[in-house]
Amino acid sequence: MNDVCIRMEGVSKHYPHFFLDSICLELREGEVLGFIGANGAGKSTTIRILMGLVRQDTGSVQVLGHPMPAEQIAAKLDIGFVSEDMRLYGAATLAWHMNFVASMYPRWDQAYADKLLRRFDLKPQQKIKGLSHGQRVKAALLLALARQPRLLILDEPTTGLDPVARREVLAELMSVLTDEGRTIFFSSHNTLEVEQISDHVAFIDRGRLIALDEKESLLERWRRVRLVVPPSTALPLLPGIVEVAGTERLPVLTTSQFDPDVVSLCQNRGVTVQAVDSMTLEEIFVANVQSRRELQPA
Amino acid sequence: MLDTIRHLCILSIFIMHTGASRIVLSQTGGPLYQQIVNQLKAKIAVGEWVAGEEIPSIRQLAADLRVSVITVKRAYLELEHAGLIVTQHGKGSFVAADVAPGPEIFEQEMVGHLEEAARLGTTMGMSEREIVSRLRQALDETEDARFIPKSSKESL
Amino acid sequence: MNRQRMNYAVVRHLILKDWYLNRGVILGSIPVGLGALAIVLTGKPVAFMLCIILLCIVIVGVGAQLAFVTTINERKEQTLAFVMSLPVSWREYTAAKILANLIIFLIPWLPLTVGALGLLLLPGATHGLVPFTAIMALEMLITTSLIVAAGIITESQAWTTAGIFFSSLGINLGGYVFAHLPGIAKYMWGKRVYWSSTAWIILICELLTVPLLLGVTFFVQSRKTDFL
């Protein structure tokens, strides 16, 4: 079993118009966790608490074995952080930034940094203000990667990138993972990319963690079941039903606990199973959020 | 002349980028782990990977395909259950020694699907003739899906 | 909270960073200031007044600009997240901002103050103005410290601009008040340098105000829970 890289227990934070409520999550070394949530759901707050930039009101945070925010300096020596609202100094060049970061990180790998410059097609002598948004994101990522961090914390790293740039960034992030000691914690709106590269997924909505699971098991247990119900036949009570849509004769059930036995269960009751569709991570997220909001309207 | 150079450049870049795995995943091709399972099976079936050959480690393949390690792990587990590959802890993953190339790999899958179709048909109360005609329908649909251009239809 | 030791190496790098990003303004102000001093050498009485005004503008302007840019712009330009992602905590950040502003401000302030005092000590000049000039020079140092404190603590453009405004007002008022204090006015236009007790008291108070301001800044920062 790998070491625990991130552990949050009962972390809460009160703001005048927002409440981050008892976040509990754990991430082991070598794994990738994708964090999905709507705007304002609490992704950025959670990430800032992880980085020690915001002090939690209750609960404990341990990153790479260091309690946060108390030992944030020690932790940050092994962390590469890129945030969507982060900017570099426009008047300075990329080369200056590289020297600046290298001076504070003993494990800075210049050879790797040069390789990334070529791979991302960035010119070190260019001033940051002359770069496009995509180039700036890649520059920030270069600065984060070349310091050989054990943990990458990324707040929407690919938001605003064109599809080609996004592919390049994802490819680089994934190649970093061939080293088993590297861990990635990232938040994203792009559910496709979370679905693709995450080992674990966490859903957050309105300050609460509404799901935390292995990606493959989420994809395995959520299904959309299309039934044909003969008249005067009751809908069978299936486990984990989150939503019943469609019509009385042609209902569409969304379930979070699908089991192949469900099909025979329906057929024994005389209900035809027309189709059993898998759901994309996005559909699972939306179904999850909608059912929660119905139970607890704001 | 310039055109040729350009094409060669594009070709070489293409080869560089597809790298060691040369497995292509699609966003709309269904669950990722299933796509990986199918494509690895196909590689073994056509003999690209021979019995006993070493195949990329789970981590390496995950990085090449830009897919989560757990997804690749799942695919490898399924292939192991099907007896097509073996993973030796600390040594790597290999094509099983007793695997023979050829379409037999898909034999088991096809038999499974046919049996399932038969079972479903019987559950729905269909007769044998109905089930067989449904099979013909399915065959027609796969042919349509292959998009045969008009000009070559005569040769069929 | 644990007593964490300050990472001085990182503080040094942060100070160098702020120097690098602002070197243009600072280096440019020195010739302007020296030029202002040179005007006095023409000997005309109006030149003296002009020199004082220009020097005040240059020094206060540079100090305010530096303080504003290094404290407010980090949040405005969204580079704060980048800095805080480095191995720094609020301690290093605050210390670096305070020290950067002090040290970088001293780069134009010191030569210009020494230059002004030197001019006043030239034979034929009004030596009596030395204490007053020294007091006014320190006044400008205090002003800059105040603006830095406002910038770091409030991180608000509005409050810091207000700070700049009131500081400039303060300098003018201070200058007027000091010049009319009996302990100073009596010796200001004299031919020799005389440090009266009033002058000493004012000087010592000024010298104590700077560390006081900066200490308060550090303390207030330690109470903050959110740095982004």
Q: Which residue has the tokens 């037999």?
A: B104
Q: pTM here?
A: 0.83
Residue A76 host element (H or E): helix A72-76
pLDDT of B12 reads: 45
CB contact under 8 A, A52 and C89: yes
Rounded to the nearest angstrom, the minimum Cα separation between A198 and chain B is: 5
What does the pLDDT read at residue C196? 85
- Which chains form contacts with chain A, at 3 or more CB pairs under 8 Å? B, C
- Is residue B87 less than 8 Å (CB to CB) from chain A? no
Contact A175 B60 (CB under 8 A): no
Please give the mean pLDDT across all residues of chain A.
Answer: 91
Dist CA B18 CA A115 (whole Å): 18
Residue of A nearest to C223 (CA): A55
List beta partners, residue B85. B95
- Which is nearest to C128 in space by CA: C216, C199, C72, C228? C199
- For residues A289 and A282, give the distance between their C-alpha atoms in angstroms, rounded to a whole number: 11
Q: Is the dihedral of CA B142, B144, B149, B151 positive or negative?
A: positive
A227: which DSSP letter? Answer: E
- Are residues A289 and A205 in contact, defined by beta-carbon separation less than 8 angstroms? yes
- Tens of pLDDT, residues A120-154: 999 999 999 999 988 999 999 999 999 999 999 99
Of A180, A196, A278, the CB nearest to B67: A196
Interface test with B, best of A31, A167, A177 (most B CBs within 10 A): A177
CA distance A231 to B117: 26
- Inter-chain CB proximity C85 and A48 less than 8 Å: no
Model pLDDT, residue A9: 95
Residue of A nearest to C84 (CA): A53
pLDDT surpassing 90 at residue C126? no
Predicted local confidence at residue B4, as pLDDT: 64
Is the distance from CB of C36 to CB of C51 less than 8 angstroms?
yes
Q: How close is the nearest chain B Cα to the Cα of A10, in Å?
A: 27
pLDDT at C179 over 60: yes
Mean pLDDT of A226-234: 84
Chain C residues near residue A89 by CB distance under 8 angstroms: 21, 77, 79, 82
Nearest CA-CA partner of C167 in C48, C53, C61, C16: C61
- Measured N-to-C along each axis, helices B58-65 and B69-81 cross at an angle, to the nearest 10 degrees, of 130
Name the residue of chain B whose CA is nearest to A263's CA.
B120
pLDDT of residue A94: 96
Q: What is the mean pLDDT of residues C73-98?
A: 91
Instruction: Give the C-alpha separation, A126 to A124, whole Å.
Output: 5
Residue C53: pLDDT over 80: no
% chain C with pLDDT above 90: 17
Q: Is B76 on the interface with A (CB under 8 A)?
A: no
Instruction: Say what the pLDDT of residue A245 is.
Output: 87
Residue B43 has pLDDT above 50, yes or no: yes
Lowest mean per-residue pLDDT among A51-65, A231-245, C11-25: A231-245
Of A247-251, B16-20, C184-188, the one with minimum mean pLDDT is: B16-20
Q: How confident is the model at residue A114 (pLDDT cuts 50, 70, 90)?
A: very high
- The sheet that has A58-63: what strands, in order across it? A18-28, A4-15, A58-63, A66-68
For residue B21, give the 3-state DSSP assignment. Answer: coil
Judged by CB atoms closer than 8 Å, whether chains meet at B63 and A175 is answered as: yes
Query: Burial, A249: exposed, middle or buried (Cβ in 10 Å; 0-12, 13-18, 19+)?
Result: exposed
Contact B67 A178 (CB under 8 A): no
Locate the chain A residue with the closest alpha carbon to B56: A178
> How many whole angstroms separate alpha carbon A265 and alpha carbon A236?
8
| Token code pair at residue A160 | 């605003």
User: pLDDT tens-digit profile of B75-122?
Assistant: 999 999 988 899 888 888 898 887 777 766 677 778 878 888 888 887
pLDDT at A260: 82
Q: How far apart are CA A211 and CA A285, in angstroms?
A: 9
- Res B151: pLDDT: 47
Strand order in the sheet with B54-55: B54-55, B92-95, B85-88
Could you count the other beta carbons within 10 Å of the beta carbon of residue A18?
14
Angle (nearest 5°) at CA A197 between A39 and A48: 40
User: What stretches of chain C show up as alpha helix (H) in DSSP?
Assistant: 8-40, 45-76, 80-84, 90-120, 129-154, 157-180, 182-188, 197-222
Euclidean distance between CA atoms B91 and B111, whole angstroms = 34
Strands (E) located in chain A = 4-15, 18-28, 32-37, 58-63, 66-68, 79-83, 151-155, 183-187, 200-205, 208-214, 223-228, 241-246, 251-255, 272-278
**What is the reported pLDDT for A117?**
95
Please indicate whether, in this complex, the C-beta atoms of B70 and A216 are within 8 angstroms of each other.
yes
Q: What is the mean pLDDT of residues C66-78?
A: 88
pLDDT tens sequence across A36-61: 998 889 999 999 999 999 999 999 99
The length of chain B, given as a count of residues = 156
Q: Which residues of C touch A140 (CB under 8 A)?
A: 82
Mean pLDDT of the C42-53 span: 72
What is the mean predicted confidence (pLDDT) over C185-195?
A: 80
CA distance C180 to chain A (A): 46
Which chain C residue is nearest to residue A71, measuring alpha carbons? C4
3-state secondary structure of A34: strand
Q: Is A4 helix (H, G, I), strand (E, B) or coil?
A: strand
* Partner A contacted by C75 (CB < 8 A): no
CB contact under 8 A, A171 and B62: no
Confidence of residue C5 (pLDDT cuts 50, 70, 90): low
Could you give the CA distance from residue B146 to residue A105 in angstroms, rounded to a whole number? 56
Q: Which two structure tokens, joined as six digits, stand for C62? A: 């540079």
CA–CA dist B114, B121 (Å, integer): 10
For residues C194, C198, C204 and C209, what is the CA-based torsion angle, rounded to 10 degrees?
Answer: -130
Q: Which residue of C has its CA nearest to A80?
A: C85
**In the prediction, which pLDDT does A152 show?**
96
Per the CB < 8 A criterion, the answer to whether C135 and C206 are in contact is: yes
- As beta bridge partners, residue A246 has A251
Q: Which residues of A touch C79 (CB under 8 A)?
A: 86-89
**Residue A76: which pLDDT band, with cuts at 50, 70 and 90?**
very high
pLDDT, residue B145, reads 66
Give the per-residue pLDDT at A98.
Answer: 96
Q: Does C19 touch chain A (CB under 8 A)?
A: no
Q: Report angle CA A91, C77, A110 to the nearest 5 degrees.
A: 55
- Whether C124 shows a pLDDT value over 80: the answer reads no
CA B77/CA B86 separation, integer angstroms: 9
* Residue C26 CB-half CA count within 13 A: 23
Distance between CA C163 and CA C173 in Å, rounded? Answer: 15
Q: Does residue C174 register a pLDDT over 60?
A: yes
The per-residue pLDDT for A298 is: 58
CB contact under 8 A, B67 and A192: no
- pLDDT score of B18: 40
Selection from A185, A180, A120 nearest residue A146 by Cα = A120
In chain A, pLDDT over 90 holds for what percent of residues?
Answer: 64
Q: What is the ipTM of this complex?
A: 0.88
pLDDT of residue A1: 63
Q: Is the pLDDT confidence value at C22 over 80?
A: yes
Integer Cα distance of A72 and C92 in angstroms: 12
- With an 8 Å CB cutoff and a minimum of 3 pairs, decide whether chains B and C touch: no
On average, the pLDDT of chain B sits at 77
| pLDDT-based confidence at residue B146 (cuts at 50, 70, 90) | low
Give the C-alpha separation, C110 to C103, whole Å. 10
Flag if A215 and B70 touch (Cβ within 8 Å): yes
Contacts of A108 (CB under 8 A, 6+ apart): A101, A102, A146, A147, A148
How far, in Å, CA of C54 to CA of C32, rounded?
Answer: 9
- The closest of A184, A180, A213 to A197, measured between CA atoms, is A184
pLDDT of residue B49: 85
pLDDT at residue B153 tops 50: no
**Count of CB contacts below 8 A, A vs C?**
78
CA B102 to chain centre: 13
Q: How far A87 CA sits from the closest chain B CA (Å)?
A: 27
Instruction: Tokens for C140, please give them.
Output: 């400008």
- In this complex, is the C-beta atom of B60 within 8 Å of any C-beta atom belonging to chain A? yes
pLDDT tens, residue by residue, A175-195: 888 887 899 999 998 898 999
Between strands A58-63 and A66-68, the pairing is antiparallel
CB distance from A214 to chain B under 8 Å? yes
Which candidate from A85, A92, A140 shows the least CB-CB separation from C21? A92
Hey, is A209 helix, strand or coil? strand
